[in-house]
Amino acid sequence: MQNKHNRKSVHVVWFKRDLRVLDHRALVQATNRGPVLPLLVVEPDWWGQPDMSARQYIFYRECASELHTALAALGQPLIVRVGDVVEILDSLRSSVNIAGLWSHAESGSEWTYLRDLRVADWCRQAGIEWNEFRQDGVVRKLESRNGWARRWDTLMSEPIQRAPESITPLESEVASQRMPTPGELGLRADKPAMRQNGGRSFATATLGSFLHERGEPYRVAMSSPISAEHSCSRLSPYLAWGAISMREVAQTTWRRQWELKQAGGQQSGKWRASLGSFPGRLHWHCHFMQKLEDEPRIEFKNLHPSYNDLRLPNESDAARLTAWSNGETGLPFVDACMCYLAATGWLNFRMRAMLMATASYHFWLDWRQPGLHLAGQFTDGIHWPQTQMQSGTTGINTVRIYNPIKQGYDHDPDGEFVRRWIPELGDIDGSIVHEPWKSPIGSGLLDRTYPMPIVDHMTAARDARQRIYGIRGSASYRDTADAIQAKHGSRKSGVPVPKRKPQASRRRRSQKTNEGQLTFDIDQSPALGARSKS
């Protein structure tokens, strides 16, 4: 073994959810200080968590492949290791002197938070400085939401970091491993037939096509799964895995808005109207990440404790969860959306909200298990604060109990979407497919090739509404809701930061935030919320 005093010092850049070389502050800063060892660690224990899935890993591996190519072109290919990151960092010290560890701060699940605590402890014991950089709008140790949006704008306005011109190759060879297959990680076979491809090249192409070709009807098209598939940005998985930075998306959008303003004209006006809505969605992407950052227990516990005994376990829960997860509830539009999600790994926000709300209200399931199913289905993962928002357990958001039949008539008026994704109903004409029991041929299908509804949706919605609002009457409920609003509420929601006011006024305020009214496509990044490690 080479004497450690004769070994060249290197800076380890740990790639996590930032699989790119452009606008990568950790990479740039480390490269400016000396030789760099670009490291990606495939962590089997992480991929074995219940919110992770093979479809996410396939996307991640494709992003990593393009990252490897980009780094090799700069002079030093990506070093891949499989295992526990602390053990891997410790083993690297036997072949190189680690001068520093560099990464972006990760907002992740409890598992990644605890892992980062172990890394921080290892760094302290080894005398190695860990340098972390922000790459999104999340602020660690945030004392107040006041001014948060301005801080977001300031961060996104900072210059985009160019990729290093070159990276000095490592003097001593450091072995790299092959990235395992999903099966080798123990992941269940799962490859959506219509999934998006991972990698920076696909990220930039998707952004370009949205801003110049697909995005003109964005504002009005985002609500229907039919039109949203084409007209929404579809950037959420690329942001989730860091194939493109939020800063690059924001600045490219601002530049396109300026070009449209300069061009003028009626067509430009339509584009400007839609793209005027998009930056707000980028803010909201980070807004929900910040909620979990500030309140990590949201991943597991109701934000408002008054709901802790609301949905107690029931012997029918398993059957209802299975029916909902498999798209076999007998509510055609709900089932079609779930089948579409299974085939694509993506769904527009309004339909995501409807799926979660239906599970929570009509089937009266606690949000955690339906949330885990959706977390694995979405290539971009899930926001636990949004999961709770759609389940009515935050105490500050408008309770939205979607009528799943009306949603079908509103957003699939000809029944095209349902017939495509529920082929068992393909012979039922027109919009009546949303209520197949009304069709003359319905009796020959229902409970044979397609199930009858497992609940009466109107009765279930009425009962759910009574249960939810029955909890909201006490003074202690309202006081807790005020505190939640003060800590987590958007300062642009139209809801003021609570002050001591008459009881009736406080009650209205706690129930009228408009966060639940938003419909956007880009705020579903993985379950997020790393806590400060210092």
The tens digit of pLDDT for each residue in 43-85 reads 999 999 999 999 999 999 999 999 999 999 999 999 999 999 9
Task: Tell me whether residue 87 is in a domain.
Answer: yes
Q: CA-CA distance, 417 to 351, in Å (whole number)?
A: 13
Domain boundary among the residues 239, 272, 294 is at: 294
Q: What is the DSSP letter of 240?
A: H
| Distance of alpha carbon 425 from alpha carbon 422, whole angstroms | 6
> What is the distance between the alpha carbons of residues 13 and 131, in angstroms, rounded to a whole number?
10
Q: Is residue 309 situated within a structural domain?
A: yes
Label residue 173 by pLDDT band (50, 70, 90).
Answer: confident
The answer to pTM > 0.85 is yes
Q: Is residue 167 part of a domain?
A: no
User: Do 127 and 274 lie in a common domain?
Assistant: no
Q: For residue 394, what pLDDT is reported?
A: 93
Would 176 be classed as within a structural domain? no
Residue 310 CA, distance from chain mean position: 26
Q: Are residues 311 and 438 in the same domain?
A: yes
In what order do the strands lie in the sheet containing 36-42? 79-82, 36-42, 9-15, 97-104, 130-133
Q: CATH number, domain at 94? A: 3.40.50.620
Q: Are residues 209 and 110 in the same domain?
A: no
Judge whether residue 259 has pLDDT over 50: yes
Average pLDDT score over the chain:
89
Measured distance CA(475)–CA(278) in Å, rounded: 38
Same-domain check for residues 301 and 313? yes
Quote the pLDDT of residue 534: 35
Q: Is 277 in the same domain as 330?
A: no
pLDDT by residue (tens digit) across 179-227?
999 999 999 999 898 999 999 999 999 999 999 999 999 999 999 999 9
Q: Give the model's pLDDT for residue 506.
A: 32
Q: Does one domain contain both 314 and 424?
A: yes
**Residue that the structure tokens 């295992």 belong to:** 83
- pLDDT band for 4, please (50, 70, 90 cuts): low
> Per-residue pLDDT tens for 131-151?
999 999 999 989 899 999 999
Task: Judge if 75 and 15 occupy the same domain.
Answer: yes
Mean pLDDT of 363-369: 97
Residue 265 has pLDDT above 90, yes or no: no
Residue 473: CATH number of its domain: 1.10.579.10
The per-residue pLDDT for 513 is 34
432 and 461 together in one domain = yes
**Confidence label for 531 from pLDDT (cuts 50, 70 and 90):** very low
Residue 459 has pLDDT above 90, yes or no: yes
Same structural domain, 392 and 483? yes
pLDDT score at 5 = 53
Domain CATH number, residue 265? 1.25.40
Mean pLDDT of all residues in 2-15: 78
Give me the mean pLDDT over the 344-348 stretch. 97
How many domains does the structure of the chain reveal? 3
Residue 120, in any domain of the structure: yes
Verify that 216 and 277 share a domain, yes or no. Answer: yes
Q: What is the DSSP letter of 362?
A: I
pLDDT at position 519 is 26
User: Is residue 525 assigned to a domain?
Assistant: no
Confidence label for 325 from pLDDT (cuts 50, 70 and 90)? very high
pLDDT at 491 over 90: no
Residue 402: both structure tokens together:
């979607």
Of all residues in the chain, the percent with pLDDT exceeding 90 is 80
Q: Which of 101, 120, 135 is the last residue of a domain?
A: 135
Helix (H/G/I), strand (E/B), else coil: 177: coil
**Quick one: pLDDT at residue 525?**
32
Contact predicate 104/16, CB 8 Å: yes
Helix (H) or strand (E) holding 38: strand 36-42
Q: How confident is the model at residue 492 (pLDDT cuts 50, 70, 90)?
A: low
| CA–CA distance, 219 with 214 (Å, rounded to integer) | 12
The residue from 93, 118, 135 where one domain ends is 135
In a domain, 375, yes or no: yes
Which pLDDT value is given to residue 171?
81
Residue pLDDT, tens place only, 74-133: 999 999 999 999 999 999 998 899 999 999 999 889 999 999 999 999 999 999 999 999
Residue 266 lies in domain = 199-294
Is position 141 within any domain? no
* Claim to verify: residue 322 and residue 341 sit in the same structural domain: yes
Of residues 397 and 244, more confidence is placed in 244
Q: Residue 397 carries which DSSP code?
A: B
Shared domain check, 11 and 68: yes
Of 1-15, 226-240, 499-513, the one with minimum mean pLDDT is 499-513
